[in-house]
Structure 1
Amino acid sequence: MSTIAFLGQGRMGVPMARRLVDAGHRVTVWNRTPEKCAWAADAGAHIAGTPAEAARDADLVITMLRDADAVGGVLLGEKGAGQDMAPGTVVLEMSTIGPDAVTELRDRLRPGIRLVDAPVVGSLPQATAGKLRILVGGEEADVSRCADVLAVLGSVTHLGPLGSGAAGKLVANMITITSFTMIAEALALGDRLGLTTEDTLGLLGTSAVGPFVERIRDRIGDDEFPTQFSLGLAEKDLALILAAGADPSGLVAAARRHLSAAVHSGLSERDISVVIEEVRSRTASSVTTKRGDIK
């Protein structure tokens, strides 16, 4: 069994760390907001006051954080985990930060510290059930050292050298996030042309995006749907995808405009599916305004 420092106890970090504890691994957790570690004491995990304390005796350090700045600060900043990691420690970077940030992190870690990038595809239900798809980049020997831990969390696809997992995650998220905005635009067009929501969803259900529509149908228009993938994180990921080289005038850029508008409306912490009603509402308002301008 591994001795693990798990840094980051957000929506995904908590169920992932719980699974590792339940599997018998020795787990120490840390989070910038200590209250999010409250589950750990009763579950049998340890709680550290700083990232450095969490990593002191760990042979595997997992980061599951918002963005590259957070990862860099937690590993390399004041009281960062990098201060106390012994040579040979493996850092398993599971956040969505993009391949360039992974390369930069490798350059900044001390010699002798190993790095594997392993972002995940899936949200809370998959994290809780241990059915995440884990996209991995790194040297074979380093990935092998993480195999028992990763097996608790989901299924592994080793895509290639360091940075490959981060690259694969951007490609996967590009499809998922733009699918939400395409469905939003389709429903908005249906509204404008007099189709009911069920009419439009029925048509989309028989199209190429049919399986995705069926998967998210219950979320559409549900103001109480719990956040699984926050809209703010999705907008951040689209910024990474554009920075990585996606067409600046293509689907990703259009999707980001929709998500940015929703973020500015205060919806950052809501589930990404809220963008569908946000786009429909803005489109309806725009059409009404244009008609009202006609004299």
Structure 2
Amino acid sequence: MSVDGGAQRLKTEADEPGWEVDPDDDWGVAVVATVGRQLRLRREAVGMRAAELGAATGYGEDLIYKIESGKRIPRPEFLDKADEVLGARGLLSAMKEDVAKVRYPKKVRDLADVEAKAVEIGAYVCNSISGLLQTPEHARAAFESRQPPYPQAEVERLVAARVARQSVFERDPAPSLGFVLEEALLRRPLGGTMVWRGQLERLLEVGRLRNVTLQVMPTHVEVHPGLDGKIELLKFVDGTATGRSDGAFNGRPVTDPRQVHILELRYGTIRAQALPPRESLAFIEQLLGET
């Protein structure tokens, strides 16, 4: 890629919505402020003006000032380029991981941190495809359907955060993952035919992984313990566990072994009533063929 082409790509990415700093996220504000301060100190140390740094990285002068003042989240590619241009010897590039997390809402970061530590995750979902299973296109359609509408910048933040959580599939050793989805969810073509085909294909891809169990709850099952809402269970290497259910304990996360055991019983019953994994994948394949 040419220098001009790379600069143009960086500028296009920099102008994307969803890179504003959430003023209510104290940790995120602190991280971006620290990065901005280091960027300004390095720039001034080498005697470079903001406009010159912008020209070298493909960012506008005003955007450089926004980053330095902690009002804009820099993209990882920008930090790499700025590190190279300013001779920071990895100081700016080293901040990429924390900066990338800032873009995601705090509650999503907290959830991702817990999921990253779990050795076993089980989820029954009744109203939507589990966020860990959604394609970016499906997630975007879901967020854009909310009322009142989210600003487009917020939609992009939420989609990026949801996709980032799916790094759980890349862990080694891989955790044990189990999902039970309602049949009705698999018949609603959210986002249109092509988006929905992509989502069904993603379910089949994930469902065939050795560490994943994917099941479908048939609509003809009249009664099961998940009618009050979704159930989530996470177990950790030290033997502890946490869980949450819309229909139990006021929807709050619980860690007390007795309360977790109640959710385990409910989830276990749901799995027993759902289609077995092989039949579930065959059912999704059939839906895909009909789409």
Q: TM-score, normalised by structure 1?
A: 0.26
Which entry has the higher C-alpha Rg, 1 or 2?
A: 2
Q: TM-score, normalised by structure 2?
A: 0.26
Higher relative contact order (CA 8 A, sep 6+): 2
